[in-house]
DNA sequence: CGCATAGTTGACTACGCTCAACCCTGGTGG
DNA sequence: CCACCAGGGTTGAGCGTAGTCAACTATGCG
């Protein structure tokens, strides 16, 4: 039973959900709206962000396929953040009542939901950990290490650097300089949108 | 059914748990240890932190009564962080197998666990949001606003300022200066360990 | 062929960190 | 009872690094 694959769900649940396509740059939902659905991403990429008092925005998560979005509706009535598609995307919409009801009958589904939540917690923890690294170039390096697949050392950056910079909590200029420096130090090699990590012993 | 109150749990679960006292400054568990239990805090305060490569530590959460600790064991086999008691504390230890098994039979318990996870996600999001506020004094102000009870504007800081500074990602010196400045600007008033927020229209 | 946007590079500024000295409190032992 | 010490908190001076503003290039799109 997997929330990403409706065909693995019990009929009762499957009949209540909807697959939804979202064009790049359009909103899935907006901060403050009435919240009746939670979503699982099946394709594309969504940016979750919140508006601060001063009008600036903070990105909480770049949600990828397999990630859940707005699970908080299970205990809140309004969306606490805004979700915007970075590229053409697809999600499955689950009415929150259906999920709450299924705890009773479908423990596997419950377990999967909990896994999704735990993964999100780990992701947030990692991003918080990053912010405690002061030096921009070291923060970038740590970020790249995490992005690299377990055995490979090649990272494909398939989204604008300025978005990456925002994730890291630095400006695009600083990111650019940090990458230059890392390349000059031999820690990484750049080729267009590909970055390879060189196994330098220390930072 | 509430994980904080064993008497509300089914016998089957209640018999498998243990209430545990922890003295101030001692460890509940350590990063890398085999993880068989998750914990709910009933009294006191625990600091969750991770060690970075360079030996520094990052605090992820100050866990209060009602918070869950190490729920990640539900999908991992080792503790990814270290938990240390800041003051004398008490926790309930739940064997993770028991929790995994109860999804089947006790939906209320499941729902409560999910609430705990969601609350943790919100807390992490808030802390990440804070880090995007550059100016130290504004970051501190936002932090105080969040700490203030909904209707009251008085905050009791019952732990060392240097710990608060670490939470905020600034040094104690900077925190001290930020508080001085906020007081001078009239945004707050300080009396020993009490801080009151003055309803100044803008920052 | 322009226009818009991303990325890069440079010069300057500003804010927080570091190091250091100092005050204050609470605890300990002579 | 007081001297001493340790730790937290505050304040000061100087430095370093990331932000800001600006100019310039490159790329993609109408």
Query: What are the pLDDT digits (tens) for A122-163?
Result: 888 888 889 999 999 999 999 999 888 777 789 998 888 998
CB contact under 8 A, B118 and A75: yes
Residue of A nearest to B167 (CA): A132
All residues at 6 or more sequence positions from B16 whose CB lies less than 8 Å from its CB, including other chains: B94, B95, B98
**What does the pLDDT look like over B101-126, one tens digit per residue?**
888 888 888 888 898 899 888 888 88
CB contact under 8 A, B131 and A129: no
Q: What is the maximal distance between C-alpha atoms in chain A?
A: 58
Taking residue B183's Cβ as centre, other Cβ atoms within 10 Å add up to 14
Whether A135 contacts chain B with CB within 8 A:
no
CB contact under 8 A, B128 and A127: yes
Mean pLDDT on B132-138: 94
- Report if CB B162 to strand D is under 7 Å: yes
Closest CA to A149 of A96, A196, A86, A201: A196
Q: What's the mean per-residue pLDDT of chain B?
A: 87
Q: What is the maximal distance between C-alpha atoms in chain B?
A: 58
Partners of A115 on chain B (C-beta within 8 Å) are 74-75
């Amino acid at each position: 039973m997997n929330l990403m694959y409706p065909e693995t769900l019990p009929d009762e649940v499957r009949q209540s959900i909807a697959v939804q396509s979202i064009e790049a740059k359009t909103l899935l939902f907006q901060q403050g709206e009435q919240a009746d659905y939670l979503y699982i991403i099946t394709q594309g990429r969504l940016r979750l962000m919140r508006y601060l008092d001063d009008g600036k925005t903070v990105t909480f998560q770049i949600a990828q396929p397999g990630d859940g979005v707005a699970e908080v509706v299970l205990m809140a009535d309004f969306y606490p953040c805004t979700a915007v598609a970075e590229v053409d995307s697809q999600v499955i919409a689950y009415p929150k009542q259906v999920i709450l009801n299924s705890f009773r009958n479908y423990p596997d589904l419950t377990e999967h939901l909990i896994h999704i939540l735990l993964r999100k917690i780990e992701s947030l923890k990692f991003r918080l950990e990053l912010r405690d690294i002061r030096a921009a170039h070291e923060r970038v390096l740590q970020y790249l290490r995490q992005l690299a697949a377990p055995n490979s050392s090649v990272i494909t950056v398939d989204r604008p650097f300025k978005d990456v910079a925002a994730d890291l909590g630095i400006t695009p200029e600083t990111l650019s300089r940090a990458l230059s420096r890392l390349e000059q130090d031999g820690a990484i090699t750049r080729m267009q949108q590909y970055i390879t990590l060189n196994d330098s012993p220390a930072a």
